[in-house]
Structure 1
């Protein structure tokens, strides 16, 4: 059995130190596993090796990497070749521990297994190995199997080396005790690195799950907002990638790392989290008179009372002989027709729209001054002050106070996100998420930031937010606009200081709008686009 001299031991120690430094820097699990196995192979001059990882249910050891130098055989890891070998069961069909397979044995007992010649060993079942040798004309001999466990003793992997070779002669030899101790030390280092990666991944998954939990709450409160919370980050990332790939123009220097992408994605998911504090009847206000219910039904009832009262008054006049019946009927028909016309007008006014004419607003006030007799037998004005205020809303369905409530969601988003202890690599999430209602000219909200005060990420999220809102076909208070209409509005926004014109140019030039439309918009909304006619864009 080969013994190491002091120089060789020093070299191995140096390898371990270098590996420790390297493991702390690697973030790709496949590359990390690859490096672990390479160093183990180099230390022992092993001809082959395998690295197993436990399955999610901890019942199987699955191959992560499998290589053999003599056979030029390499699967898994960063090879790009999938591992075709079946995993090693940790338990049999009866639920008993599998102790026949050497890798499973090492995993169960947390012990290294060093075998000088597997063909002379009768403790373990090597039938699979024998079959492999026969198929490939190979001769497996020495085996070193080392389990890798975390700080709590939980299995994170099994490292197995095959056929140690003499560095000078190339002859197969047994793994020495020194080999074993060094590989055990390497396995311990590797386990720490893998555990750190697993814990980081678990924390990141937990964070994303909590983000989704918030969105589930918003979605349950308002399915329209929930859809928006999913589509805005998707569109944001599409535009961000297009900007990242831009090689010319003002945005040519913008680049994102994988960490930057994750940070922006989380910000997109959370960009409207403050809406969880906004009353649902305000978020989803489909008509001007809607609160918890649409009060147009109450107004309709008052019109029915007026129609009924007009009919009763006409009948009383007939009974009293206070006029010709035909004349009374004609006057009744005219009065009721006028009431029905007013009812239809109020119903239309309740819908809301792009703009309400001043004459229509005055007509609402005129109708409001009518008198009707309520259930209490008292005379009342036909519409309350609050109903008049809502029915005369010029744009959309929200009063000024309700619009302030809606706008406050972004302040709440910032407040909620800034209250969280974000790690360094996610520290920009509040700024990215909190800036999508700012404008390039400083007229946005809540902070009135200008273009120079905003990150590129916040500026591109603003475009994604507006475009999704314009084209969304599921909002209760409006129809989704045609693609050409939405692009026309966005183009004007790029000209008037609302959105970033450089990012808008990439949004059009890279066909991000079309990619998103075909994936997520109703096909009836996707009309023909003449890019030369889009305001603010030069093909």
Structure 2
């Protein structure tokens, strides 16, 4: 550390100063005149007799590495704002040896101060770097979107190393068990680079492949002058865009098992991060090799990035797995009742669409309601799985389209066929009896009477069957049909295998007498129990905290604001907001879905009228329904 010793001239001590010996230069400066051109570190002799302190106050060096040795007569105190700069106060007549030792001590003190300042700067820089790495680590660990995570990794890597450009390769497994690199992302400050995905083998013939294959970090000073390595730089990009790839830092991203899962490639470290390398001259002026500290920081970030990326890919795989589970669940639901195919998917689209409209509201009672991406996902899953409990309902009840089960109706038809055959057989027996008693003379009139009776009986039987078929439809049962059913049940027929049987069994009469729809109270209770089954099933799944409300949302999709819904009779304040949206969507799709065996599809306009009537009856949320109509949410599933 070479320093400079300054004194003001003229000075009677000039010969003494010039005679001092050490690893420093001795220079004199004018007490008056232009400001000196200081060279630091510096020790300044100040003579109290000539007011040198006053002069130094005016022209003091701007750097920090300097101090004063103050020379005075007697014990006069030092009075100056430069007191902190005074290293020693000596008598003007101090010996040369004392002056020599004082100067050496002053320079040693400056060296120590410089070392301390440098150490402080290094500690502050290290603390700042650690803080930056920690912030980056937190950001990496919280990013769930793989593409956004890759962007973040490359952006932060380039920031901490002042790299002009960079790219990321990911390791991808092949169907046969092998692996290769996939070019996934590139960034550049100096050029707009068109992205084109391609693959590279993991071998030593390319720079990225070498890093992945060997696990080595490559810090290349000049990519055009690579020595002692099997790979060379592919210059196609440079030639196409007029670029010059010079310094490179290539780091394998390895997981905890030390397996490469990707490669981080940084290009052209710059003196000034904001510089644009638009010409080869700029490259020569700005580009420097990546420093050892940059390599250490980038390696630390690459390690964090590898963990975050592996977690992200694991999260993605788990998400895909769960998506497959949800789709399989929906398929299981719809396979039990094929007539409702697509219902869960349509309810999901409508409910998510309505949630997104609510999220954009900037006025009205719901202007403060906002849904995060995770909450929208929660609504999506709840909508898809809201009917899963139907797997716990007896299939014959679930798909029951008429009041009688198919086997029951078939039995009724067979019974009527038997009675028809019995009537025909009875008519033939009567004819045969007549012929046996009276011969074949004058049989026309008796036969006509027998045939007329047979015709009337068969007509009555057909009318009875038509009444039964009409009553079997899942519509409102007219009173006259209900009375007719009682009349039919009062008729009996002779069963050759036993006693006389009624035309309609009591169970058949009970079911045919259902006043509306196809279900009796017990069957309706079973259908409505699907909500309870759904809640129990969904409650068994260990949802993440972002999805934990799914069971509560799904269990309320048949509740009404006045407490008349099922199965829990919830009131408005008890029903989750998400479920209120789903209820509107569920009703709309149930009304407008393609014809089902037990009902016809209702036109969209009529469906909205029906839902509007429920809103007027204070059963459904009026504002949500208004948003549903005004935003034309119902068009999201048009044509499905």
TM-score bracket for this pair, using the shorter chain length? 0.7 to 0.9
Considering only aligned residues, what root-mean-square deviation do their CA atoms show, in Å?
2.4
Quick one: distance in 2 between partners of 1:68 and 1:357? Answer: 78
What residue number does 1:89 align with? 200
Q: Secondary structure at the match of 2:185?
A: strand
Say whether the 8 Å CA contact 2:223–2:233 is kept in structure 1: no
Q: In the alignment, does 2:583 pair up with 1:462?
A: yes
Quick one: distance in 2 between partners of 1:498 and 1:289? Answer: 31
What residue number does 1:133 align with? 238
Quick one: distance in 1 between partners of 2:126 and 2:428? Answer: 116
- Sort the Cα spacing of 1:376 and 1:35 in 2 relative to 1 into closer, same or farther, 3 A: same
* Correspondence for 1:187 among 294, 302, 314: 302
Quick one: distance in 2 between partners of 1:158 and 1:367? Answer: 83
Quick one: distance in 2 between partners of 1:152 and 1:266? Answer: 35
- Sort the Cα spacing of 1:56 and 1:519 in 2 relative to 1 into closer, same or farther, 3 A: farther
The TM-score with structure 1 as length reference comes to 0.86
Q: CA deviation at 1:74?
A: 4.3
- Sort the Cα spacing of 1:283 and 1:385 in 2 relative to 1 into closer, same or farther, 3 A: same
Q: Secondary structure at the match of 1:156?
A: strand
Quick one: distance in 1 between partners of 2:619 and 2:592? Answer: 18
Q: CA deviation at 1:305?
A: 1.7
Q: CA deviation at 1:226?
A: 4.0
Q: Secondary structure at the match of 2:252?
A: strand
Say whether the 8 Å CA contact 2:477–2:515 is kept in structure 1: yes
The answer to which of 471-480 and 393-402 deviates more is: 471-480
What residue number does 1:502 align with? 623
What residue number does 2:473 align with? 351
Quick one: distance in 2 between partners of 1:301 and 1:21? Answer: 74
1:277-356 correspondence to structure 2 within 5 Å: 277-290=392-405, 293-321=406-434, 324-353=446-475, 355-356=476-477
What residue number does 1:518 align with? 638
Say whether the 8 Å CA contact 2:146–2:313 is kept in structure 1: no
Quick one: distance in 1 between partners of 2:245 and 2:636? Answer: 55
Quick one: distance in 2 between partners of 1:151 and 1:274? Answer: 42
Quick one: distance in 2 between partners of 1:454 and 1:182? Answer: 52
What residue number does 2:597 align with? 476
How many equivalent residue pairs? 498
Q: Which has the larger radius of gyration?
A: 2
Quick one: distance in 2 between partners of 1:421 and 1:111? Answer: 41
Q: In the alignment, does 2:491 pair up with 1:379?
A: no
What residue number does 1:61 align with? 181
What residue number does 1:114 align with? 219
Q: CA deviation at 1:178?
A: 3.2
1:75-474 correspondence to structure 2 within 5 Å: 75=193, 83-84=195-196, 86-90=197-201, 97-122=202-227, 123-126=229-232, 128=234, 130-166=235-271, 171-290=286-405, 293-321=406-434, 324-353=446-475, 355-374=476-495, 376-474=497-595
Q: CA deviation at 1:170?
A: 5.2
What residue number does 1:533 align with? none
The TM-score with structure 2 as length reference comes to 0.73
- Sort the Cα spacing of 1:239 and 1:42 in 2 relative to 1 into closer, same or farther, 3 A: closer
1:484-511 deviations in Å (ceiling 9; x for gaps):
2212211111111222112111111212
For structure 2, the 5+ residue unaligned runs are 1-118, 274-283, 438-444
Say whether the 8 Å CA contact 2:219–2:290 is kept in structure 1: yes
Q: Secondary structure at the match of 1:424?
A: coil
Compare relative contact order (CA 8 Å, sep 6+) and give the higher one, 1 or 2.
1
- Sort the Cα spacing of 1:74 and 1:62 in 2 relative to 1 into closer, same or farther, 3 A: farther
Q: CA deviation at 1:267?
A: 0.3
Say whether the 8 Å CA contact 1:140–1:163 is kept in structure 2: yes
Quick one: distance in 2 between partners of 1:488 and 1:470? Answer: 11
Say whether the 8 Å CA contact 1:272–1:409 is kept in structure 2: yes
Quick one: distance in 1 between partners of 2:247 and 2:624? Answer: 62
What residue number does 2:159 align with? 42
Q: Secondary structure at the match of 1:289?
A: coil
For structure 1, the 5+ residue unaligned runs are 76-81, 91-96, 521-539
Q: Secondary structure at the match of 1:342?
A: helix
Say whether the 8 Å CA contact 2:349–2:637 is kept in structure 1: no
